[in-house]
Structure 1
């Protein structure tokens, strides 16, 4: 019987790994253990509850105002005993978080094989996104299995010298999650508030955007609100106190911008499905929104998901106020451009990535 451990620690990782956990637990001749680090706490727990996943191990590392140093050392120190106790044949990690990097490092020290889900995404700018680009590249160096969501991600890995026979194009497990969460009969008080408007869903939290870039993002949105009475904004605001401070200082008491607490995954996906357009500096939303036919303006200067740009589902608008303002305004006023983005084909998969990964790992491909 194969012994596989799955390690993750943040909300985005959980959304993308829970469908894979469910798939693997439904298979024969495999033992699955789940270890969460608690890099995010409240937001992680919300996703675990939604997918009914109970971890076997919880490192519970989260501290107030935690630094990358503290996250890394705390995970590394606690992972050793768990890995030695479990003796897994393989550890699966996801994407580009500090949990991902540190868990992979711990496995490398103990010579445990690593499977990297959502492998091969690149900006090739080591500081954007920070520290995620470094984390993702570092995990690729030590991984034994590379589960690439797209052909482009596979080609990135091949150019870097990774063995082609260890790279598998599977699609993105985040698309699998939408099959579980989207509901036709969904209702929410925020949707009632936004009814009849062109509702913009905003997420903004990246480390490199905190400060002047985030102020410029928020100023552009405020200008749009002031000039377009038919527009409302829902912003599930990140728990980072610096993000909250900037948002409140720029938006003030603007009635048509709702700053709300982070949403559970089912709520977020269903509000996303009903948005007019999406503004985000997140990664996963760049994949989820196109699957739901929603145009996405990416509030970053680079993206490790260029497939969406090429397909026309995403537009990279950076963090300069004027450029963001003009880009939103165009989508609000130019119906042809808006419809073109809505109808662009989603390059991130068909909702069966978890099945493909399970087949590969268990020899049923």
Structure 2
């Protein structure tokens, strides 16, 4: 008897990083057949990320700039090859296609909110719409679960699993050469090009002040094994990218966040991340404070990662199997996972 087929839809490299551990956990548990689906504007980039985990897309379906056209493509796919369930992160178009086909939808990292519903970005609205059609909401943190309850999601439809970025970091760490530390202290800068130009003078000043400081741009590295190695060796990360915050914390690397306070309140509360104003003087001061005190830097790293405990992928896989009638739902992640030890 064949196992139920579950499609894991990744539309960005960040989504591929978080879905890959789930596919591996499903394969290991042996109750489901995971089918990675590469979509988005650059499916080849999804394939590169999956390859870092020893996976490959079983289906490649490029998205369109028109969400309606993307939905049509997924509807055609699932009319011919209907999965037992679909796992997404932020993919509203494939989720809508699954919803109209009456295919159960599992959402990882459910309940993330910025409070910026009226902003120019459509992401917040998409996440709230996605919550209305999701079958099981797999939340990374208690705060994310509370956001869903505030939006009147049925409590029994929400499971606290943790985030799978931690699982991904642990899987990739086994393949890196991070055990050999660099001679230089590396700060990873993860901001758009226009902001990097404004911050550049501050970082050049710091490089002159600290001869062993090396500043590298996250944009110069593709997600996957090479970037995972960089994060495990990094001294700190400066970013306004919410996914990079989680990736860095999963590698036990302190983060200086430019904005994002509403999206990463848990990290601020834990002390593993600090908020910094988006101006060169503030960033110079914060980076210098970490450069001058290894104890200060390491105390942030020791605060750990509030977004996962390394077992989220197994919970997601088990919950998906349970929804489809194979076994029991897992226990939720403990609210306070044990902090890891930085390298």
Q: Which TM-score tier does this pair reach, normalised by the shorter chain?
A: 0.7 to 0.9
Give the equivalent residue in structure 2 for 1:90: 85
Partners of 2:250 and 2:98 in 1: CA distance: 34
Partners of 2:170 and 2:294 in 1: CA distance: 29
Partners of 1:219 and 1:301 in 2: CA distance: 23
Report 1:291-310 matches (<5 A).
291-310=250-269
Once the two structures are TM-superposed, the CA of residue 184 in structure 1 deviates from its matched residue by 7.7
Give the equivalent residue in structure 2 for 1:233: 215
Q: 1:312 aligns with which of 271, 274, 277?
A: 271
Give the equivalent residue in structure 1 for 2:337: none
Could you tell me whether the CA contact under 8 Å between 1:90 and 1:112 is conserved in 2?
yes
Give the equivalent residue in structure 2 for 1:337: 296
Partners of 1:40 and 1:336 in 2: CA distance: 42
Q: 1:32 to 1:133 in 2, by over 3 A?
A: same
Once the two structures are TM-superposed, the CA of residue 288 in structure 1 deviates from its matched residue by 3.0
Once the two structures are TM-superposed, the CA of residue 89 in structure 1 deviates from its matched residue by 2.8
Q: 2:308 aligns with which of 349, 352, 355?
A: 349
Q: What does the per-residue CA deviation read over 1:114-150, in whole Å, with 9 as the maximum and x for residues that have no partner?
A: 1111101111112669333222222112111100011
Give the equivalent residue in structure 2 for 1:328: 287
Q: 1:16 aligns with which of 15, 18, 29?
A: 18
Instruction: In structure 1, list runs of 5 or more residues that go unmatched.
Output: 62-68, 238-260
Q: Secondary structure at the match of 1:91?
A: strand
With structure 2 as the length reference, what TM-score do the two structures score? 0.85
Give the equivalent residue in structure 2 for 1:283: 242
Q: Secondary structure at the match of 2:110?
A: coil
Q: What does the per-residue CA deviation read over 1:162-213, in whole Å, with 9 as the maximum and x for residues that have no partner?
A: 010010001111111122111487179xx99xx42221122224xxxx64x4
Partners of 1:304 and 1:289 in 2: CA distance: 15
Partners of 1:356 and 1:129 in 2: CA distance: 34
Q: 2:27 aligns with which of 14, 19, 25?
A: 25
Instruction: In structure 2, list runs of 5 or more residues that go unmatched.
Output: 323-327, 331-343
Partners of 1:285 and 1:331 in 2: CA distance: 19
Partners of 2:28 and 2:245 in 1: CA distance: 29
With structure 1 as the length reference, what TM-score do the two structures score? 0.80
Q: 2:171 aligns with which of 177, 180, 187?
A: 180
Once the two structures are TM-superposed, the CA of residue 310 in structure 1 deviates from its matched residue by 0.7
Q: 1:294 to 1:34 in 2, by over 3 A?
A: closer
Partners of 2:18 and 2:295 in 1: CA distance: 33
Once the two structures are TM-superposed, the CA of residue 17 in structure 1 deviates from its matched residue by 0.2
Q: Does 1:215 pair with 2:217? A: no
Partners of 2:37 and 2:71 in 1: CA distance: 13
Could you tell me whether the CA contact under 8 Å between 1:301 and 1:317 is conserved in 2?
no
Q: 2:226 aligns with which of 255, 260, 267?
A: 267
Q: Does 1:200 pair with 2:200? A: no
Report 1:43-58 matches (<5 A).
43-58=45-60
Give the equivalent residue in structure 1 for 2:128: 137
Partners of 2:44 and 2:37 in 1: CA distance: 16
Partners of 1:87 and 1:52 in 2: CA distance: 25
Q: 1:122 aligns with which of 113, 117, 129?
A: 113
Once the two structures are TM-superposed, the CA of residue 219 in structure 1 deviates from its matched residue by 3.6
Once the two structures are TM-superposed, the CA of residue 282 in structure 1 deviates from its matched residue by 2.2
